[in-house]
Amino acid sequence: VYLISETKTEDGPSFKKYGKVCFVDLAGSERLKETKSQGTMLKETGNINKSLFNLGKVISALGDKKKQGRSHIPYRDSKLTMLLMDSLGGTAKAIMVACVTPAATYSEETLSTLSYASRTMNIKNKPIVQMDSKAQIIQLSKRDRASEAGE
């Protein structure tokens, strides 16, 4: 979902801010034995697992405090990680909701989900306001004039 917010100022120009909201259901890893997938469904299950594996690599690379800023982040390895690039270590705010079950039969999936969530908490984003370039120049010049007047 793409958002545009327009703020009108008292002295004339209006400022537009741009945003994007991504809702992604990661679905969890798919067990081939349980789903008994065949044909097209088998291929789709493999793609889901591949995307989740690549997402895990990106989250690990971003959350590794020892290598921050020095390691390659494999965003291009899947469409999912490309979609979430702004949210994963980028310029956006991100919220991850981890849904787990207390059922013993799904303990492996629960641990995997909790691992994703805990590694995700180590990622530090630097949110910025996305504005129209003209509006950004006007706002910066107003800020400069205000700081000069206060000096």
Measured between alpha carbons, how far is 99 from 95 in angstroms, rounded to an integer? 13
**Tens digit of each residue's pLDDT (9 = 90 or more) over 14-70:** 778 888 888 887 766 566 667 677 788 778 878 888 888 888 888 888 877 666 666
Token pair in block for residue 109: 């999936």
Residue 137: its H or E element = helix 133-150
pLDDT at residue 151 tops 60: no
User: pLDDT by residue (tens digit) across 78-95?
Assistant: 888 888 888 887 788 888
Q: Report the pLDDT value the prediction gives residue 129, as an integer from 0 to 100.
A: 74
Cα distance between residue 90 and residue 51, in whole Å = 19
* pLDDT the model gives residue 43: 82
Residue 103: its pLDDT value, please? 92
Which helix H or strand E contains 111, and what residues bound it?
Answer: helix 107-120
Q: Which of 110, 84, 70, 109 is nearest to 23 (CA)?
A: 84
Contact predicate 122/6, CB 8 Å: no
Q: How far apart are CA 143 and CA 139, in angstroms?
A: 6
- pLDDT band for position 104 (cuts 50, 70, 90): very high
Check residue 28 and give its pLDDT.
Answer: 60
pTM higher than 0.85, yes or no?
no
pLDDT digits (tens, 9 = 90+) for 110-144: 888 888 888 888 888 887 777 777 777 777 777 77
